[in-house]
Amino acid sequence: MSHPDTIAGRVLAVLDHDGISERRRAAHLRDTCGISESTARRLLRGKNIWHLLKLARGLEVDSVWLYDGSFTKLHPRTMRIRIQNVLGYPPEETGDIMRLFTGYVADHSKAVNLISLVNAGQMGMRMASRIYARRQ
């Protein structure tokens, strides 16, 4: 699990999710995002954020999330990376949580009610996603 409080931390979370080794990270960013390897190394050290849109396109994540860690739209790959690699939920629970959020966005009453309980602190995300997954 990485520390997503910076752009570099979120980039590292994406690279971890994709299974890119530390040794290959700068070269991977060069190849997928169209930036130089030296720029990629500086970015990974948190020194250069000027290529944000190239990074978001190359890494196939939401640019707003990459910039400040917030969600402004449903972007499945970004959501999976955040749930699994940033928040630390195991892969087997990630799908249930994503279905719960998708149901919430689609305004399914059960998902809306469960998310309300989570937001009020009356239920944990794991429990809400398990209950929602049982509805099928």
At 23 the pLDDT is 95
Q: What is the pLDDT of residues 80-111, one digit of tens each?
A: 998 998 888 998 899 999 999 888 888 899 99
Percent of the chain predicted with pLDDT > 70: 94
Mean pLDDT across 103-123: 91
Q: Which of 12-21, 39-48, 106-115 has the lowest mean pLDDT?
A: 39-48
Distances in Å between the alpha carbon of 2 and those of 9, 13, 16, 87? 6, 6, 8, 9
Q: With a cut of 60, say whether residue 13 has pLDDT above it.
A: yes
- What is the CA 68 to chain-centroid distance, rounded? 12
> What residue spans in the chain does CATH classification 1.10.260.40 cover?
7-75
Topology of 7-75 in CATH?
434 Repressor (Amino-terminal Domain) (1.10.260)
Contact 104, 112 (CB under 8 A): yes
Tell me what pLDDT residue 120 has: 92
pTM: 0.75
